[in-house]
Amino acid sequence: MIDQTPKEITVTLILGLLIGLLIFLFFKTLRWIELQHLIWNEMQIPYHLIALPAVLFLLFEIKKRTLYFPSKVSEVTKSHIELVQHWSPAMSFFHFIGTSLSHLVGASVGREGTVILMSAGLVRLFKLSWNFWGPIALTIGFSAVVGQPLVSVIFIMEVFSTSIKQKIYAFIGAMTASLLMQTLKTPHLFESFQIQSNFSFFQKFFFVLFTGVLAGYMMRVYKKGYFYLSDYFQRHSVLVKISTASALAIFLGLPGIRKFQGLGILQLENIQNLAAQPSDVVIKLFVTLLSVTLGFWGGEFIPLVYAGLHFGNVISQFFQFDLILGSMLCAYLFFAGATRLKWTTLVLTILLVGWGWWFWAYVLVFSCVHFSGPESIYKSHN
Q: What is the pLDDT along the chain (382 residues), one digit of tens a residue?
A: 567 888 999 999 999 999 999 999 999 999 999 999 999 999 999 999 999 999 999 999 998 888 788 888 988 887 556 678 788 999 999 999 999 999 999 999 999 999 999 999 999 999 999 999 999 999 999 999 999 999 999 999 999 988 999 999 999 999 999 999 999 998 877 776 666 677 889 999 999 999 999 999 999 999 999 999 999 999 999 999 999 999 999 999 999 999 999 988 888 877 888 889 999 999 999 999 999 999 999 999 999 999 999 999 999 999 999 999 999 999 999 999 999 999 999 999 999 998 989 999 999 999 999 999 999 998 765 4
On whether both 110 and 45 belong to a single domain, the answer is yes
Q: What pLDDT, on the 0 to 100 scale, is given for residue 263?
A: 87
Quick check: is 380 in a domain? no
The full length of the chain comes to 382
Quick check: is 196 in a domain? no
- Dist CA 99 CA 30 (whole Å): 9
On whether both 81 and 148 belong to a single domain, the answer is yes
Quick check: is 376 in a domain? no
On whether both 210 and 317 belong to a single domain, the answer is yes
CB atoms within 10 A of CB 82: 8
Quick check: is 324 in a domain? yes
On whether both 246 and 328 belong to a single domain, the answer is yes
Q: What pLDDT, on the 0 to 100 scale, is given for residue 99?
A: 96
- Dist CA 308 CA 198 (whole Å): 23
Q: Is 379 left (phi over 0), alpha (psi -120 to 50) or beta?
A: beta
Alpha carbon 239 to its chain's center: 28
Quick check: is 112 in a domain? yes
Quick check: is 126 in a domain? yes
Give the torsion sign (CA, 334, 328, 170, 156): negative
Q: How many structural domains does the chain have?
A: 2
Give the H/E segment covering residue 139.
helix 130-145
On whether both 19 and 143 belong to a single domain, the answer is yes
- Dist CA 280 CA 120 (whole Å): 33
CATH label of the domain that carries residue 30: 1.10.3080.10
On whether both 165 and 259 belong to a single domain, the answer is no
On whether both 178 and 205 belong to a single domain, the answer is no
Domain boundary among the residues 135, 156, 183 is at 183
Quick check: is 191 in a domain? no
Neighbouring residues of 182: CB distance < 8 A, sequence distance ≥ 6: none
Q: What pLDDT, on the 0 to 100 scale, is given for residue 165?
A: 95
Q: Is 320 left (phi over 0), alpha (psi -120 to 50) or beta?
A: left
- Dist CA 296 CA 108 (whole Å): 9
On whether both 178 and 220 belong to a single domain, the answer is no
- Dist CA 238 CA 217 (whole Å): 32
Task: State the pTM of this model.
Answer: 0.93
On whether both 227 and 160 belong to a single domain, the answer is no
**Cα-flanking dihedrals φ and ψ of residue 283, to 5°?**
-65, -40
On whether both 167 and 239 belong to a single domain, the answer is no
What range defines the domain where residue 128 resides?
5-183
Maximum alpha-carbon separation in the chain: 69
On whether both 220 and 333 belong to a single domain, the answer is yes
Q: What pLDDT, on the 0 to 100 scale, is given for residue 381?
A: 54
Asked if 378 and 159 touch (Cβ cutoff 8 Å), the reply is yes
**Cα-flanking dihedrals φ and ψ of residue 230, to 5°?**
-60, -45
Quick check: is 345 in a domain? yes
On whether both 9 and 101 belong to a single domain, the answer is yes
